Amino acid sequence: MKKTMFWLTAGVIATFNISVVDASVVSQTKGNFVDKFRQLDEVLPTANVYRSAAGEPGEQYWQQQADYNIKVRLDEDKRRIDAEETIQYHNNSPYTLKYIWIQLDQNIFRSDSIAERTATFNSKPDQNLGGVDKPARISLNQLRRDQFMADNELGFSIDKVADGRGRGLEFVVVGTNMRVDLPTPLKPGQKTELAIDFGFNIVEEDAVGARSGYEHFADDAREGGNDIFLLAQWYPRVAAFTDYEAWTNKEFLGRGEFTQEFGNFSVEIDVPADHIVSSTGVLTNERSVLTPTQRERLEKSKKSDKPVFVVTPEEALENEKEGTDKRKVWKFEAENVRDFAWASSRKFIWDAQGYQQGGDVQPLVMAMSFYPKEGGELWEKYSTESVIHTMEVYSRFSFDYPYPTSQSVNGPVGGMEYPMITFNGPRTILQDDGSRTYSLSEKRFLIGVVIHEIGHIYFPMVVNSDERQWTWMDEGLNSFLDGVAGREWDPSIPWGVEPRSIVDYMKSTNQVPIMTQSDSVLNLGPNAYTKPAAALNILREVILGRELFDFAFKEYAQRWAFKRPTPADFFRTMEEASGVDLDWFWRGWFYSTDHVDISLDRVYKLRLDTKDPDIDWERRRQEEADKPTSYFVQRNEAEGRKTWVEMNPEIRDYHDENDRFTVTNKQRNAYQSFLDKLEPWERRVFDRAIAEDKNYYVLDFNNLGGLVMPILLQVTYTDGTQEDLHIPAEIWRRNAKSVSKLIVTDKEVSEFAVDPNWETADVDIENNFYPRRIMPSRIEAFKWQRTHDHVSRDLMQDAKTKLKSDDDNEEENKEDNQEQ
């Protein structure tokens, strides 16, 4: 239905009107309409009694439980473990089970594994694989790996599979899985026991590249050197049985991590007597394995406000010189954990500090670090501090840290997480003078990797998502939170979770949606870590705001602590708890490869007509006068050339004295008639609009990237002041390709800018400004040479360099000339 119109004019080019149109009429080209706001429930699993439509566990939610009793022996010389385990499996599901699937992750290293048989040759595209002039290359690292795999028998050796009474059970090994057939079907509510004897040769992590393994230190004083052993995926583990997939027995190919059942562990670790062991769980036999001095230090550390050495650097250095034939058994108990890992070495320095968390869940958490002399001052300063900082930040966003220990261990694995224990890689550099230094990049790496891996104890070690299917649910959520913790540590460090961090990946053609199964992702880092982290950062800072986001995210974490969420549970919880429809956001960021590129293409400046001809036509006369004159007219005037009319005034008539903007009484009468016909309320509205004489701007936006997003519009006025306008993403709901927006201002605008602070991952900032800006860049003349990144320079070592004198430089130049 058409209402009274206000007339707006943009110069003399066109006259516009504003009218109210029936909202049911949507203009679209046939076949081209794309509904970016279509409800996501059409693709999400249907809510049921196990998982509600609100995104929380349903009234009949269930999950299995697997308890382990394990005795393991580390053979240091053979670099092998042998063990026996008893698994008590609880069937809490409503289904009867005829068999149980067991994960044998070490089998990935067998030569006949799918991972090995499908490994591809990573040669550069421009290399000529069949030529002589430009042969292909293979790295020494690859050759080293191939040789290690050929020289060692790898994978699990399964020596026995039996029931709780010792009766042998039928089993079939299928790659990295093993199916154990039960003699009697396991009904709902029942439990059964499995006994498995197993062993395997430990891989050299530096040679093979793995999530665990040993690292050899040949230069240690001890004859034959020393090793650090990191043991993970080391025992046959029951595969998860879920309501959404049944048995999660997809082959382990190396990238897709793990999803486990929660349970209780009792583990005895038999190692050389001079080894120090770090492990999931709580040490229950301190008196048997620690000296009185170590126990005293450990007790002191519980109330210390800084880390206390349980094993000092000097003691560790002395310890690594000898070796012993004696052995000790370390006993650990862990409750309600989904996995178990441990580390062992005579090289370990050990420091600890009690984190006074308070609350009822776990008032005291022992933050601890284990590292060799190679970790040096870097680890002494930052490892345990980073552990505590992580718990402080993550608990604020989720729940109190639920376990009694939180540990960071240095070894060959760059970064990997398990309940209560993490493996982290950065180290110091040994210099010729015997000192140890570290670069700024190594410092940042250590702090960042400790925060990230300790953060994983929350996600997914407590919020137990399925890493094999949805890597982003642990890596992405955790990268978002480690970005929060990292920036609260030092915002100057580039943590890689800002929207600007993902721009290059977002506009690349070599990508897949975030919701792609882990082993099929093309670029795991950007896809599973950075993009979802940046998306959540945008969701928090731009779309929901911190209050709504933090409430909803904490609700998700607490709903699914010690349970198994799916993506649908996360999506639904964030919407249900925030009260904001986010289906468009999940569709765009997680289910597509669209990117953000909002272009501000045109701005029309409009002014409200007064309808008074004496005012409006004078305005138009002025607008005409303000137009630039042509070169022809300018140059004729400069030459003093007069027009024919000027030279012959007798031919002038009415039209020469009155221009086309001259107002007549007919127009004045029409104006008065217009005013008389207005209703009283219409006259009041009209008079106010004329009196206020605001500025009307129509902005034309185009969505070039396809990903609908809010428009963050910064308005700069001619007086130098600025105003920020937040236009919600719903502006695109009727047309996801282009929209026009009317902006009414009191002051005159000098510039409009879209996303000036780079908060939405817009891939092209050049089209974000109107008028267009000259984009700053740099150019310099240079002489080609190999350069070093300013972050990776070892400033601690470089600072020791003696300043050369002129005589020194002359002497060096003479030597160089003689060599040439």
User: What mean pLDDT is predicted for residues 507-526?
Assistant: 91
Buried residues in 131-156 as b, exposed as e (16+ CB within 10 A): eeeeeeeeeeeeeebeebbeebebbb
Q: Give the model's pLDDT for residue 119.
A: 85
Bridge-based pairing state of the strands 171-174 and 226-231: unpaired
**211 pLDDT higher than 70:** yes
The helix/strand/coil state of 601 is: strand
458 in Cβ contact with 553 (< 8 Å): no
* DSSP letters for 347-366: T-EEEEEEEE--TTT-SEEE
Q: How far apart are CA 439 and CA 429, in angstroms?
A: 9
Digit-coded pLDDT (tens) for 391-428:
999 999 999 999 999 999 999 999 999 999 999 999 99
Interacting residues of 338 by C-beta distance below 8 A, sequence separation 6+:
260, 261, 262, 263, 419, 461, 464
4 in Cβ contact with 682 (< 8 Å): yes
User: What mean pLDDT is predicted for residues 573-584?
Assistant: 97
User: What mean pLDDT is predicted for residues 624-644?
Assistant: 92
Pull the structure tokens for residue 426: 């950065």
pTM of the model: 0.89
Q: Give the model's pLDDT for residue 805.
A: 75
Interacting residues of 544 by C-beta distance below 8 A, sequence separation 6+:
552, 578, 580
User: What mean pLDDT is predicted for residues 323-339?
Assistant: 97
User: What mean pLDDT is predicted for residues 590-610?
Assistant: 94
**6 pLDDT higher than 50:** no
Helix (H) or strand (E) holding 198: strand 191-201
* DSSP letters for 383-422: HHHHHHHHHHHHHHHS----SSEEEEEESS-SEEEETTEE
Digit-coded pLDDT (tens) for 128-149:
455 566 677 788 988 999 999 9
Residue 34: pLDDT band with limits 50, 70, 90: confident
Q: Give the model's pLDDT for residue 265.
A: 98
Digit-coded pLDDT (tens) for 38-56:
999 889 999 999 999 999 9
Q: Please give the span between the terminal C-alpha atoms of the chain, in angstroms, as a whole number.
A: 91
**717 pLDDT higher than 90:** yes
451 in Cβ contact with 482 (< 8 Å): yes
**331 pLDDT higher than 80:** yes
Q: CA–CA distance from 191 to each of 277, 406, 438 (Å)?
A: 32, 31, 53
Q: Give the model's pLDDT for residue 30.
A: 53
Q: How far apart are CA 124 and CA 60, in angstroms?
A: 53
CB atoms within 10 A of CB 405: 24
What sign has the CA pseudo-torsion 276, 281, 286, 292? positive
Q: How far apart are CA 12 and CA 755, in angstroms?
A: 32
C-alpha neighbours within 13 Å on the C-beta side of residue 361: 11
**250 pLDDT higher than 50:** yes
237 in Cβ contact with 227 (< 8 Å): no
**347 pLDDT higher than 50:** yes
Interacting residues of 644 by C-beta distance below 8 A, sequence separation 6+:
none
Residue 180: pLDDT band with limits 50, 70, 90: very high
User: What mean pLDDT is predicted for residues 112-132?
Assistant: 68
The helix/strand/coil state of 169 is: coil
Q: Give the model's pLDDT for residue 492.
A: 86
**11 pLDDT higher than 50:** no
Digit-coded pLDDT (tens) for 781-806:
655 554 445 566 677 777 777 777 77
Q: CA–CA distance from 394 to each of 102, 406, 435, 485, 553 (Å)?
A: 32, 13, 36, 8, 11
Q: How far apart are CA 217 and CA 558, in angstroms?
A: 44
In 3D, which of 245, 203, 193, 205 has the Cα closest to residue 107? 203
**218 pLDDT higher than 80:** yes
Task: Tell me the β-bridge partners of 309.
Answer: 351
Residue 818: pLDDT band with limits 50, 70, 90: low
When comparing pLDDT for 137 and 730, which is higher?
730
Q: Give the model's pLDDT for residue 26.
A: 41
Bridge-based pairing state of the strands 429-430 and 263-272: unpaired
- How high is the mean pLDDT of the chain? 90
In 3D, which of 496, 563, 558 has the Cα closest to residue 530? 496
Pull the structure tokens for residue 65: 């439980």
The helix/strand/coil state of 367 is: strand
**21 pLDDT higher than 50:** no
C-alpha neighbours within 13 Å on the C-beta side of residue 508: 13
Q: How far apart are CA 768 and CA 759, in angstroms?
A: 13
534 in Cβ contact with 502 (< 8 Å): yes
Q: How far apart are CA 727 and CA 708, in angstroms?
A: 12
Q: Give the model's pLDDT for residue 1.
A: 36
**79 pLDDT higher than 80:** yes
Q: Give the model's pLDDT for residue 133.
A: 65
Residue 57: pLDDT band with limits 50, 70, 90: very high
Q: Percentage of residues in the chain with pLDDT exceeding 70?
A: 91
The helix/strand/coil state of 669 is: helix
**Three-state SS across 718-761?**
CCCCEEEEEECHHHHCCCCCEEEEEEEECCCEEEEEECCCCCCC
Pull the structure tokens for residue 719: 């007086």
When comparing pLDDT for 35 and 553, which is higher?
553
Q: Percentage of residues in the chain with pLDDT exceeding 90?
A: 78
Q: Give the model's pLDDT for residue 4.
A: 37
Digit-coded pLDDT (tens) for 263-320:
999 999 999 999 999 999 999 999 999 999 999 999 999 999 999 999 999 999 999 9
